[in-house]
Structure 1
């Protein structure tokens, strides 16, 4: 019997998740293990004195390099995604990316600046091939009609893999760098990526159905056009920005790399504005709403990237990381304790090893020793042995993924409860609330600074823990929605370009976070640093509320729901 048009076959939902989910789960878990291990210790490695095996950079130089690295790591997925989409296929791109990432992490284990910069380049390129394509592969698998009802749950499971990797890596990093040195910690990131690659390559057939190479259509913008109208002008502008300082006699944004990046952003931003102004009438509303969302979201991601810049400085140099004897005994076998040592004679006298700061009465209020922790520590707090056992700074990087796991299900439950009662906020309102929460987390740091005389005492760990907890709520409200908004609002012909725009937002925010941290030592009152973030978030949150109804209306026009 033939079927009529109204009698479409009903496809029963699959009873189990696709086995490819678990292949991608463990691949991503180990890749994120390596990524977050590296970014968790990179700033610390750069500022660690050379006698300890670090680079001995000051805060300004370290923040400049970390900010540039974050910016480029988020920029490279734009090209990697396009190449996989149209030429390589997703599985091949993931293998290439994973191999480059592993090589980069292993390269960081070798001494010398040349090895470091080559390794960073490999990681940046590798991330461009890996990052955008593993999620796309999962999405393609779950676009199958019988699996679509399980797609959201699949992404939640996948996201748990990200956070498991991000949580455990810092404990491994602390153990290895405290017992064996920085090189072993970076090498562990490479081992993690190799494990992920082995899992993926041994089970590639399981995920083959998601490796759908896109057939180019006449509406697609050629990659050559994208390169010539976006990246080539950006490279030229970056070169101009880099050489502005010698001409003017000073930098515009603190360092020459900051100048280069900010100049490079100008032609890219102009390209997206032109994309909007030349779009067809039916596409303009979606593109306009998306670009407005991008502009507001930059503030959120600047605060997010303080995790690798400003908050790392605060955790390392301004937070009391000393532990009780009982906690020390428990933490020692796990390698969570970092030992910092001064020469015994410097405890009782100030000599050429120290910079002394005195108050108006001539009393010494600060001494600086060979480890950054001894900054902002009064002389009478230094033990006679000259040795302190501290909680390793990178352990604080595990607080955020821990709270994501704890809070995610609670937030899902809360919004389900509100939805049943017809009170669930729409997507733009959730984003605004998330930005406000990020601002509140910065306000907590303002309070932490206000209640700590940083020249004679350290701040309590509880301030950082509370800051991460508050921010995590904001992250759950904003982060998962970003790519969803892109897919909902982008015209089909420029979806890949707008995905690139979302990564550009993260890239600009990462560099701004690094730029801010290069001025850390210039902020005599550290409250000002965090107050800037608080005020920026308050303004961005209000703007999001003001344009929220308009964006929600556009989303409904495009998708039929808010």
Structure 2
């Protein structure tokens, strides 16, 4: 059998992305906890932190459109990756300095840096496979690359737990920055292997300069965002002047999407006829996966809250002393308030000189309080450790999924990209049902939920993720016309951006659902709706994909 070959650059890009994701997911894993923490954070409510989280990760995935366009036409791919990585590293370190000014400045650097880094490392990888020698291995290459993402995402939460328990938030954020700087160093080490893929696109006759395309999108998006933020609407309980929703920032984001949608419509209808069907197929798939990201990205909001407040995080006694000694697990103290509701000091929000309960405490729904004495400490897993469950499953399942698809490919039975993505949406919907079962099994949060529900839900959603996310990157790289590769890669990231923002919007509804199983059912219905839409469009998509593979 002929040995499968990959470009020499793959290990360097794998390790670069691994360290970049190490930093990003370390930061994301503690971000909402930091915002809500009363003693060491910013005392935000669940809805406030979810809204800011959604806006942040939405913008993180919106700027790749700009970064991809600049790289495509002006800068090439290597320089933006280096600059973006350095900006993110500095941004992570700044976020750990406790002030709103430093927090928001750091967030801006991360948003801008990711815009330069994220689309271009993916495009650079795809370009390296655009030769007869490697072309047939592109899907597999992206899956290997995707595993690098998740090795970093798995390890970072363990490191984060150590840094948090021993030093606090500042050092944890600094650890994210150091990880990013290591990623840049690794990328520079493999610089000579990227030359064949670092090719700027040559403008075709009559094609508009890059800065015109950029201004067509960015300037109107900024103007629409300002209009969305300041336009007055129907008064609500939390916002007197919001127009579409209860949050002016969300209004601004939704308004900013309007010129972006019109821009991609313009790109579609001004493309040559031989390209138009392919571009339309890519854009339709980008729209279809928005609900996936709206559900998947709740891992940093709703599922973080579920882990923190509703999941039994007790460390087994046999390993509790060792983990505590290594600062890989924390402690919580059992105390009683005057009204006999068990609470934790860091679960209070100050109101004047008094304290009121802000969030359900660890002991409020703890089943074994009758066996505890006031002042007794329990050793528990850090809540952010549960962020490692998804990357754990990716590492475990990626070889299996790749092997299954390779087995089917050799027998000419491999599902096409549209079929894989449809399966991905459907399977993601099933993961919501696992959380419905978790809510019911815990009597709607009245008692602690088993941590195995987490493993089950993440195991199911990871299968859906592997059928969708890396395949989507490969799809754009394979099918996009050469002159539009980075632009359409930007469209993929914008669809991710919109989904990320919707994840924050949905998560902000969490406190309004007394029946938590109904909240997860809402997610299920959203995924089934997206799946049905893609099923209806499947014959049309399959026809286009078959034409391109001839």
Q: Same fold (TM over 0.5)?
A: yes
* 558 and 151 in structure 1: CA distance in 2 versus 1, 3 angstrom threshold: closer
* 81 and 524 in structure 1: CA distance in 2 versus 1, 3 angstrom threshold: same
* 345 and 553 in structure 1: CA distance in 2 versus 1, 3 angstrom threshold: closer
- Larger CA deviation: 318-327 vs 256-265: 318-327
1:69-468 to structure 2, matched below 5 A, reads: 69-148=56-135, 151-218=138-205, 220-245=207-232, 249-341=241-333, 368=357, 372-374=361-363, 376=365, 380=369, 383-385=373-375, 387-454=377-444, 456-468=446-458
Following TM superposition, by how much is the alpha carbon of 1:212 offset from its aligned partner in structure 2, in angstroms? 2.1
Do the aligned partners of 2:89 and 2:178 also contact (CA within 8 Å) in 1? Answer: yes
Following TM superposition, by how much is the alpha carbon of 1:124 offset from its aligned partner in structure 2, in angstroms? 0.7
* 242 and 88 in structure 1: CA distance in 2 versus 1, 3 angstrom threshold: same
- Larger CA deviation: 502-511 vs 475-484: 475-484
Following TM superposition, by how much is the alpha carbon of 1:211 offset from its aligned partner in structure 2, in angstroms? 2.4
How many residues are aligned here?
Answer: 536
Q: 2-side partners of 1:170 and 1:411: how far apart?
A: 25
Match of 1:46 among 21, 35, 45: 35
Q: 1-side partners of 2:247 and 2:302: how far apart?
A: 17
* 415 and 211 in structure 1: CA distance in 2 versus 1, 3 angstrom threshold: closer
Following TM superposition, by how much is the alpha carbon of 1:80 offset from its aligned partner in structure 2, in angstroms? 1.0
Q: 2-side partners of 1:58 and 1:415: how far apart?
A: 44
Q: Does 1:21 pair with 2:10?
A: yes
* 204 and 240 in structure 1: CA distance in 2 versus 1, 3 angstrom threshold: same
Do the aligned partners of 2:17 and 2:148 also contact (CA within 8 Å) in 1? Answer: yes
Rg larger for: 1
Cα deviation code 1:122-167 (max 9, x no counterpart): 0111111111122333333343554445555444433332221111
Following TM superposition, by how much is the alpha carbon of 1:403 offset from its aligned partner in structure 2, in angstroms? 0.8
* 326 and 369 in structure 1: CA distance in 2 versus 1, 3 angstrom threshold: farther
Do the aligned partners of 2:146 and 2:470 also contact (CA within 8 Å) in 1? Answer: no
Q: Does 1:497 pair with 2:484?
A: no
3-state SS of 2:221 partner: helix
* 421 and 139 in structure 1: CA distance in 2 versus 1, 3 angstrom threshold: closer
The two structures, once aligned, show a CA RMSD in angstroms of: 2.9
* 219 and 451 in structure 1: CA distance in 2 versus 1, 3 angstrom threshold: farther
Match of 1:528 among 518, 525, 540: 518
3-state SS of 1:431 partner: helix
3-state SS of 2:289 partner: helix
Following TM superposition, by how much is the alpha carbon of 1:227 offset from its aligned partner in structure 2, in angstroms? 2.8
Cα deviation code 1:35-91 (max 9, x no counterpart): 111111111111122xx4122211111101110111001011111112122222222
3-state SS of 1:457 partner: coil
Do the aligned partners of 1:245 and 1:252 also contact (CA within 8 Å) in 2? Answer: no
Cα deviation code 1:86-140 (max 9, x no counterpart): 2222221111111101110111121101000000000111111111122333333
3-state SS of 1:388 partner: strand
In the alignment, structure 2 segments of 5+ residues that lack a partner are 236-240, 349-355
Following TM superposition, by how much is the alpha carbon of 1:546 offset from its aligned partner in structure 2, in angstroms? 1.9
* 522 and 544 in structure 1: CA distance in 2 versus 1, 3 angstrom threshold: same
Do the aligned partners of 1:27 and 1:196 also contact (CA within 8 Å) in 2? Answer: yes
- Larger CA deviation: 551-560 vs 377-386: 377-386
* 342 and 114 in structure 1: CA distance in 2 versus 1, 3 angstrom threshold: farther
- Larger CA deviation: 259-268 vs 409-418: 409-418
